[in-house]
């Protein structure tokens, strides 16, 4: 069983969930807006994805930040603080396997085929 982390109204998350459903891959959905995210969980992903990859700098949430807020994100700890306070800035979806290991970040049909089929 996989866990998909994201927000339900995100188009990329919708595409990923549609792909997983079409391929009958079982998963649970973790909604950042309803369940939040812990610092420990975010830090556990740093072994596979750097904080620079997890902070979605091309998204509207990042672009709406003040220059001061953007410049304050300079290391893992400051990135974690931002991602906890503004979960929409986390690149999505992130998919974990049953053991908690990340297997996908974002959605690409090719990458999902490699990871899940």
φ, ψ at 78 (rounded to 5°): -70, -35
Residues 104/45, Cβ–Cβ less than 8 Å:
no
Annotated catalytic residue, options 2, 3, 10, 81: 10
16 is catalytic: no
Going by the DSSP 8-state scheme, the letter that residue 55 receives in this structure is: B
Q: How far apart are CA 71 and CA 93, in angstroms?
A: 25
Tell me the catalytic residues: 10
């Amino acid at each position: 069983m996989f866990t998909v982390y994201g927000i339900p109204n995100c188009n990329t998350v919708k595409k990923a969930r549609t792909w997983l459903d079409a391929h009958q891959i079982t998963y649970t959905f973790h909604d950042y807006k309803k369940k939040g995210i812990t610092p420990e969980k975010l830090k556990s992903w740093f072994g596979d994805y750097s904080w620079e990859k997890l902070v979605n700098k091309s998204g509207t949430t990042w672009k709406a930040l003040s220059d001061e807020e953007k410049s304050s994100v300079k290391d893992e700890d400051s990135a974690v603080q931002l991602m906890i306070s503004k979960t929409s800035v986390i690149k999505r979806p992130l998919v974990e396997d049953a053991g908690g290991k990340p297997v996908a970040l974002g959605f690409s049909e090719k990458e999902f085929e490699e990871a899940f089929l």
